[in-house]
A and B are shown apart, each in its own frame.
Chain A
Amino acid sequence: MTDESIYQEIILDHYKHPHHRGLREPFEAEVRHLNPTCGDEITLRVHLTGRTVEDVSYDGEGCSISQASASVMTDLLIGKTVDDALSIHDEFLRLMHSRGELEPDEDVLEDAVAFRGVSRLTARVKCALLAWMAWKDAVSQASGTAGDTGAGATSEGAA
């Protein structure tokens, strides 16, 4: 592969050996998101304990980018507070909308920096964002049903 390739080793590793895959109990919200242009789909559950993202579990099918992105995301978000997780989410969105121009913060995004190359390909950005959009949706629903008091967790309309 060339340096230009979007298929970085990190992405291929997560695709071939996904982390946290499979739907688990308990959960407060489950969502199903689709990418209608390519048929990628993900079902994703969020389990919150107070203000902590206790678990994110998922199942679905799709291209290597969408699957690897879900795996990387769960590594990053599980165990974080909802607020921290949301700011990581926002940072990833910024990267994916940067058309390769942004130098990603590896301290915040860890393995997710590997998706920088994907951000150059507008047709694939949606693949990388599928799980993240699903997570945002689910965490927003879970925060609502849990009667969570935390401001910000239900913020609407980002990205």
Chain B
Amino acid sequence: MSLDVARVRKDFPILDREVRPGVPLVYLDNAATSQKPTQVLDALRDYYELHNANVHRGIHTLAEEATALYEGARDKVAAFVNAADRREIVFTKNSSEALNLLSYVLPLGPGDEVVVTEMEHHSNLVPWQLACTRTGATLKWIGLTDDGRLDLADLDRVVTKRTKVVAFVHQSNLLGTVNPVDVVAAKARSVGAYVVLDASQSVPHMGVDVQALDVDFVAFTGHKMCGPTGIGVLWGRADLLEQLPPFLGGGEMIDEVTMAGSTWAALPHKYEAGTPPIAQAVGLGAAVDYLTDLGMDNVRAHEHELTAYALNALQQVDGLRIIGPTTNDERGGAISFALQGIHPHDVGQLLDERGIAVRVGHHCARPACLRYGVPATTRASVHLYSTTADIDALVTGLDHVRRFFT
């Protein structure tokens, strides 16, 4: 069964709004954040209207209900990514916090090396730069090919016996590239390194099975997958998370506390200090239900088809150069491009005058922009509710932009 996009769009009230009178919204900034369906908004409202309490403490009815909803969301997320054990799902604030957590708890020291790629989002680059500065480890990276793929010829040179962590992105937010996780992970395994996957742009758009990926840790964020902001997920192998030290200290993450010292709570609570983002977790649970009902294979198929349509249509625009893969294999629906002689800011501004929302800038992936010799790009990115009409509006808008500035 394929996706009924017209029906899906009815679930997203914001898609009906006008940006200004007579100018309907064309939302193509999904790699930055997704819109939220009524089902998620209702879950948030229900939680606050009927069940709001703090979790894991108190024995009153609301506390029981809130705890059941919060932990129920964990079960939903665990099932969604096929975690072997619900204790492997740690709720964080976002992907950045999940990756920062890892950069603090994974053991590193002088002589050790951390390997990333040149296409990382700053959130999977800067934490490792900081960790290397802190511990005396060295940061290395896998370069990129001209067509926007990982340069796998670099792999044997960069990943060595000194490598302790290989952290890389599943789907690039800038280029749209889907990386060969199996190839990189196998190389990392061969030298005994931890394997960290930034799945912020993949979990919202394709079925991701964390066990099948053969990696150690996966980070993703709720707001890009139709959930609220303020909730992210770290999945990690239970045996590893059990051995590793805690990250943030505080309430909830302890077992026994004395003035002399403390012991840690069992997983996952060991990594969830303080009152967690409860409503946001509940909202994410509703988003996971929503996506599961539609079927991630259907979501993937719809976006794949739309990406092919967009790649073809954009390449008909005079002076447009795609930054990233121009073919639709191993590629997601985030498409960055440069328009000859016109700055992305001007592209974005003029598109906005026509109600079209795209992202302009370096997309928190400045090294990759530098690699391709552009200070910034314009990026259009689709999601499950995007249509060919959205792409058509974009292409017409870009023609208008070109005429305006020439």
List chain A positions with a Cβ less than 8 A from chain B: 1-2, 4-7, 12, 16, 37-41, 61-65, 121, 124, 127
Q: Name the contact of A41 in the complex, choosing from B344, B353, B375 (C-beta under 8 A).
A: B375
Q: Is B362 an interface residue (CB 8 A)?
A: yes
Chain B interface, number of residues (Cβ within 8 angstroms):
17
User: Is B346 a contact partner of A37 (Cβ separation < 8 A)?
Assistant: no
Q: A38-B361, A39-B361, A39-B362 are in contact. Are A61 and B375 (CB under 8 A)?
A: yes
B339-352 CB mask vs A (1 if < 8 Å, else 0) is: 00001111001100
Which positions 337-375 of chain B face chain A at CB distance < 8 Å?
A: 343-346, 349-350, 353, 360-362, 369, 374-375
State the CA gap A26–B173 with chains docked (Å): 45
| Alpha-carbon distance A134/B157, docked complex (angstroms) | 43
C-alpha spacing A12/B375, complex, angstroms = 22
Between A and B, 16 residue pairs with Cβ closer than 8 Å are: A7-B349, A7-B350, A38-B343, A39-B361, A39-B362, A39-B375, A39-B376, A40-B375, A61-B343, A62-B345, A63-B346, A63-B349, A64-B345, A64-B405, A65-B345, A124-B345
Known: A38-B361, A65-B346, A124-B345. 4 other contacts (CB 8 A): A39-B369, A39-B375, A41-B375, A63-B343
Report whether A62 and B361 are in contact in the complex, using a CB–CB cutoff of 8 Å. Answer: no
By the criterion CB–CB under 8 Å, are A38 and B350 in contact?
A: no
Q: Residues of B contacting A12 with CB < 8 Å? A: 405
Whole-angstrom CA separation of A1 from B405 in the bound complex? 12
Query: Which A residues touch B404, using CB under 8 A?
Result: 1, 7
- Which chain A residue lies CB-closest to B350? A7
What is the minimal beta-carbon distance from B404 to any residue of chain A, in angstroms?
7
By a beta-carbon cutoff of 8 Å, the part of chain B in contact with chain A is: 20, 343-346, 349-350, 353, 360-362, 369, 374-376, 404-405
Interface centre among A5, A39, A65 (most CB of B within 10 A): A39
Contact with B361, one of A6, A37, A41, A121 (Cβ below 8 angstroms): A37
Minimum CB distance partner of A127 in chain B: B345
Judging by beta carbons under 8 Å apart, are A62 and B349 in contact? no
Give the residue of B349, B369, B376 whose beta carbon is less than 8 angstroms from that of A124.
B349
- Nearest residue (CB) in B for A118 is B349
Alpha-carbon gap, A5 to B20, bound state (A): 13
Whole-angstrom distance between the Cβ of A99 and the nearest chain B Cβ: 17
Nearest CB of B to A22, in Å: 18
Closest 3 CB pairs of A and B: A39-B375, A63-B345, A63-B343
Max chain B Cβ within 10 angstroms of own Cβ: one of A1, A41, A64, A121: A64
A71 to chain B minimum Cβ distance, whole angstroms, is: 15
Minimum CB–CB distance from B362 to chain A (whole Å) comes to: 6
